[in-house]
Homo-oligomer: A and B are copies of this chain.
Amino acid sequence: MSTDAPSTPTEPDTPSSRVRERARRRGESLRSSDRRSVLRPGDGPMVILDGVSKEYTSDARGLDDVTLSIESGEFVFLVGPSGSGKSTFIRLLIKEFEPTAGSITVGGRNLQRLRRSKVPYLRRSIGCVFQDYKLLAGRTVYENVAYALQVIGENPRSTRRKVPEILALVGLSDKSDRYPNELSGGEQQRVSIARAFVNHPRLLIADEPTGNLDPETSIGIMQLLYRINRTGTTVIMATHDREMVDKMQMRVIALENGKVVRDQRQASYARADS
């Protein structure tokens, strides 16, 4: 039906005007959420991986000698078969664990040299949609999203303003008092997306954010990501959605067995020559 939406991101419908409104407020919000950010400002590459490997155990290799860089403001798809290392890549960027070899730089900061006490500030500057959602089971939808703002010390008034706004954007306004186990799979996924967006991070990472969403909702989410990207946010998205990737024609990094097998601008899901 509306599968062409991502390519026309400025049509004047309601969600879109909300997004523009949000973008307008962005300058102020960025400052507040970046108050103690460890990311260095500037236009250098947002992410640099240099010979990065991650061996979980001697026989489980997540990433294998990956070298690449992602510029500020880029939109990157991460594709590859199940178990190829997409989630490993993402988890390295938020320093969930250390690489076994190589060095990673995010926003001008070498992650190996980042002190443990600074890691929370790194994570606040990165919005992350987790593949398994990682919602707080004891909190409602509203509280889950608000938590990301409370963590950065946002004042309660602006929290009360921002959270319903972002929930409306992902279509969950009427479910804000539900607990995660009272939601459908796709609804939980959208809560995770809302939480990652809510404090306007400079880097947005999404691990298969549309895996449990129907095509139409997926397109809505893609529109959202695209618009956020247009305001200057770097977006990295792991996905299996061939249709989506083909339509967007953005940079595609393809992994296989932990190795980068393709890194191409304006590309499709599958190799052009196949």
Contacts and interface: CB of A to CB of B under 8 A. Distances in A.
B211 A212 contact: yes
A132 interface: yes
Contact of A214 (B131, B212, B240): B240
A220 to B, nearest CB: 10
Interface in A180-202: 182-187, 189-190
Nearest to A183: B83
A71 interface: no
A263 B94 CA distance: 45
B83 A184 contact: yes
Contacts of A87: 184-185
A178 interface: yes
B217 A82 contact: yes
A270 to B, nearest CB: 7
Given A82-B185, A82-B187, A212-B240, 16 more contacts: A1-B270, A59-B174, A79-B214, A80-B214, A81-B214, A82-B186, A82-B213, A82-B217, A87-B185, A132-B185, A185-B207, A185-B211, A215-B240, A215-B242, A242-B243, A243-B243
Please give me the 3 A-B residue pairs with the lowest Cβ-Cβ distance, nearest first.
A82-B186, A211-B211, A131-B185
